[in-house]
A and B are shown apart, each in its own frame.
Chain A
């Protein structure tokens, strides 16, 4: 069993007990524990079930590389699935649940597939579910979906808070191990702004557990001193629980800072912070990860990496068992044996797959009286939910059992892999080094920044030099290089005194025994998290998947949440062996961000709930809110759709607003309309190029409706242009188009017609705008007082400026409703006051406020188009019978050349028509097709419905449609298919339905 020694554990504070729950059981740990060490202290070795076969699994590692110990943490709105227990610092009240089992963790019903594992070979999904088709949908997929997958996705809204931080730094050092700390120490005096991050909750890395002497100090003490020293330096920011997860273009880094330990109960403090970093230089002190060995039963709980066992012991005082054996292909793993032996653990055997080693550490182990067997291997591990014994065999041969040794834990070590993910995120290449038996950075193919210069240095064991005395071999060079980059005086570099340990080379062997039979290979796991076995790799290569990228996708090797941190190298080694090629020929897969998983919450940052997206409000927003407005989002704006009174339905409210406006008086908040000033000696000329119609001939004091097309000739915005004076125009745009049109004008002015003397200013927000419409509109303006609005003086398309009551205004006589209508603009600051004044004075006249829906209905009754309804980015003005607004005199305007294309002049283009229904109880569905009468097929489609309403003014349904050669169809019948198989029959009419002569607005 695993347990906690009564003494020891550098990181834990035994005086501070913390309680937590695992699968409902109340357990205790200490402050400084990880969830993993606390679980092991409680003899919780079985931690989850595997992905495919539901095999019992335990801890393999003690860090981010952990493939098995993924737990669901929390519940409800704070549930996080697939959280690695080895990197979660313990805090009081953690609720952890194991994953991926039906029934209990101990007795998983799903593990039946253990027996069926032979029918789940590599490429299983590709092979099995091709035929019959129905079986995939109804049998295989539901079964697999419920059986596979790790944790369950949370169902409730995330309660936690997240944010971003943008940081600019001179140097970022990734890794707070001894190499990272020493680098920071050497750079600290240079005055550079430095960020050093450590993904775990402590500094020192393996130098804390694998102790050695440095400058005559114990490495743990040396680290403590460094940490104290650096934390006092104001140029250096030290961060724990912080991972750099991605290196992107132009030296942009993404970092995740984890505050789970500190998160307050009300979730008002931040849980994760996503750092967005620009750095001039990046130093990788990312260390190395120990590799497992591949042998039968290497996934049985109790089989663990030797460095992890050592770390659990030294940092948290955890014992892996009473009788522990080691299998290794290198010298470094022996140090764990020495430590555990000295702690009183029985070590019945050390198995070394090499022929011999006369290194210092193996000799020391022998001297302690521990039995060491060279040239041996493990046939298989015995036990199901826990290691019970191992069978020993010779390294050569098929694995005939020579001896069985009782034990409760197996330490393994297959050598070390330097962590170079960040080196290659941005294009840096890596290569295999046979001498060092690891990946090393390829200095000739580095990641580069915006200047085309390399910006990453690698220090410490990430270079593939794993022994303490080799750690700082390139430190002087790196420091010198940084001084050069930043143009700083060179500093004196003091060498560190570390005693060299005499050692033998690591063996390239990763699978044992060398010629294991199929049965054993079928239990030898390469990728724990995705359940990829030796046999799967063999099948894949036999079937021709010899490229490492193909192998990966066919077998899913390295594709789980751990991204193959433990499995990739073993997989590549096996592949190279199977296809008889060198590792560098086989190649490695590409490392991609993120290095470790990051939460979706951290990506969203603060942009959730009411901060999800900016909302724009008009000056009258509060009044709308208090008077029953239902909101309609238009662009970023919130506009009242309609105002509900008493117990009205939405429809009733809209119809009331239309009728009231048509019969007496209505008012609309039109503040959202875009208002752009174009001013200068060439303003008219410039606008002639922007609009399809002639603007330069407009007289000051007058307005003109104008259209804008893009270079494709397609209509994209419309609005009324007013000429304020000889050199200044005010261009109204649609609500959604104000920013777009402003940018559009700026773009053409800056990039094509910069010789035109104009200034452009977006004044959309400067003015509140109120539409007063209806037969009594003039009466209201007269009541407001101050302006002469007589029809003779103030004609349609005129505007006047002055004081209306106490308000500074500009009043436009323009109508989008077909009624007598005035649009009053006043500075936004007065918008609400003017609105209320209009209501007060209008109440005797029976005024009503109306919303966007009433606006839409009234414009449709008049046959006015709406950008976005009648246009869809493929419609030219001529399609909408707006030829009159397209100048034939002008030499050029944006879209003119496109209008000359043959296709644009095709009589069969879809053109705008109205549709009328006989049956006034029906409504034509929006967006529906219109077919030739009696037609049924695609060839009968004439076009589609662009707008459809019930017209309260005419008491019947009306619609507009774009139909092929629409003009020729007038008076004909068309069919509109409904979803149900029924059809509506409509008659093609003119798209003006109401007051065709325009008498109402010209009074």
Chain B
């Protein structure tokens, strides 16, 4: 596997969360039976559209009306959960897949993260629009991504594994201390 990527300056620390765990759960999210199963196993509610829910290190995010992404920094936690979820969902039309190797997750720490992301995405990142509950799939520059706030001064960003190094360079460039606007 390629090297662990890290960058920091006075404003931002950008880190590749090395080998995180991710599961894609495809089913009809509005199904009450499904919602109960998720609540029972994960102790988390199925999130509303464009949002995520969480329990400690476990995040559950809305990808589309029939897809959730379950994420943990801890790959082993995820690997254990996959079989449980898959087995419990047997009777429900669904597809549960380990996608831990498909994607990578970067953490960006720094209170000005909105400034950094606004260099690449056309979505509205104003605090009243992109809130602590928000999970958005959009582009950053030319790369397809999804991101959410884990703390007021920290975001996690998911991108395809093969784009990892390119995207890391993009992030570092956008983190340029000399190009901060203080718009938000």
List residues of A whose CB falls within 8 A of some B CB: 161, 163-168, 193, 237, 264, 268-270, 273, 276, 278, 606-607, 610-611, 613-619, 621-622, 636-637, 677, 679-681, 728, 757, 759, 761, 763-767, 827-829, 831-833
Contacts and interface: CB of A to CB of B under 8 A. Distances in A.
A610 to B, nearest CB: 6
Contacts of A829: 1, 19, 100-101
Nearest to A727: B95
Interface string B148-164: 00000000000011111
A165 B2 contact: no
A21 B153 CA distance: 46
Given A163-B179, A616-B162, A677-B97, A606 B102 contact: no
B179 A273 contact: yes
Contacts of A610: 166, 169
A765 B102 contact: yes
Contacts of B66: 759
A570 to B, nearest CB: 40
Q: Tell which of B101, B163, B165, B169 has the most Cβ of chain A within 10 Å.
A: B101
Interface in B125-184: 125-126, 129, 141-143, 160-167, 169-170, 173-174, 176, 178-179, 181, 183
Contacts of A167: 118, 183
B95 A270 contact: no
B50 interface: no
A48 B172 CA distance: 43
Interface residues of B, number: 48
B93 A765 contact: no
Q: Please provide the 4 A-B residue pairs with the shortest distance between their CB atoms, ordered closest to farther.
A: A616-B162, A828-B101, A269-B178, A759-B95
Contacts of A764: 102
Contacts of A269: 176, 178-179
B2 A765 contact: no
Contacts, number: 129
Given A166-B119, A166-B123, 14 more contacts: A163-B174, A164-B120, A165-B119, A193-B126, A264-B178, A614-B143, A677-B97, A728-B95, A763-B97, A765-B101, A765-B160, A765-B162, A828-B102, A829-B101
B124 interface: yes
Contacts of A619: 1-2, 161
B24 interface: yes
B99 A763 contact: yes
A883 B57 CA distance: 54
Interface in B98-116: 98-103
A765 B100 CA distance: 10
28 contacts: A164-B120, A165-B118, A165-B119, A165-B183, A166-B121, A166-B123, A168-B124, A168-B129, A273-B179, A278-B122, A606-B119, A606-B173, A611-B169, A611-B170, A611-B173, A614-B167, A617-B162, A621-B2, A637-B162, A677-B95, A680-B95, A759-B27, A763-B97, A763-B99, A765-B162, A766-B99, A766-B102, A828-B161
A606 B143 CA distance: 13
A827 B75 CA distance: 13
B179 A761 contact: no
Contacts of A637: 162
A616 B142 CA distance: 12
Nearest to B142: A614
A180 B168 CA distance: 41
B26 interface: yes
B45 interface: no
A41 B121 CA distance: 45
Contacts of A765: 101-103, 160-162
B94 interface: yes
Given A163-B179, A765-B102, A829-B19, A759 B94 contact: yes
Nearest to A164: B119
Contacts of A163: 119, 174, 176, 179
Contacts of B164: 617
Q: Tell which of B95, B119, B124 has the most Cβ of chain A within 10 Å.
A: B95
Contact of B24 (A193, A761, A831): A761
Contacts of B166: 610-611, 614-617
Contact of B1 (A614, A728, A832): A832
B127 to A, nearest CB: 11
A80 B170 CA distance: 26
B95 A761 contact: yes
Contacts of B179: 161, 163, 269-270, 273
A636 B124 CA distance: 28
Nearest to B24: A761
Nearest to A671: B162
Contacts of B129: 168
A362 to B, nearest CB: 48
B126 A607 contact: no
A606 B125 CA distance: 20
B85 to A, nearest CB: 14
Contact of B174 (A606, A614, A680): A606
A681 B93 contact: yes
A963 B99 CA distance: 45
A168 B95 contact: no
A880 B52 CA distance: 50
A613 B163 CA distance: 11
A611 B143 CA distance: 11
A297 B169 CA distance: 57
Nearest to A683: B95
Contacts of B118: 165-167
A637 B26 CA distance: 28
Contacts of A268: 176, 178
A764 B163 CA distance: 12
A677 B120 CA distance: 31
Contacts of A193: 126
Nearest to B167: A614
B101 A767 contact: yes
Interface string B64-97: 0010000000000000000000000000011101
Nearest to B179: A270
B12 to A, nearest CB: 15
A15 B161 CA distance: 56
Contacts of B98: 766, 827
B2 A617 contact: yes
Contacts of A761: 24, 26, 95, 97, 99
Given A759-B94, A827-B100, A166 B122 contact: yes
Nearest to A728: B95
Contacts of B125: 166, 168
Nearest to B118: A166
A766 B24 CA distance: 12
B171 to A, nearest CB: 11
A278 B166 CA distance: 28
Contacts of A611: 141, 166, 169-170, 173
A833 B176 CA distance: 35
Contacts of A615: 163, 165-166
A575 B166 CA distance: 56
A878 B8 CA distance: 57
Contacts of A614: 142-143, 163, 166-167
A680 B176 contact: no
A759 B122 CA distance: 29
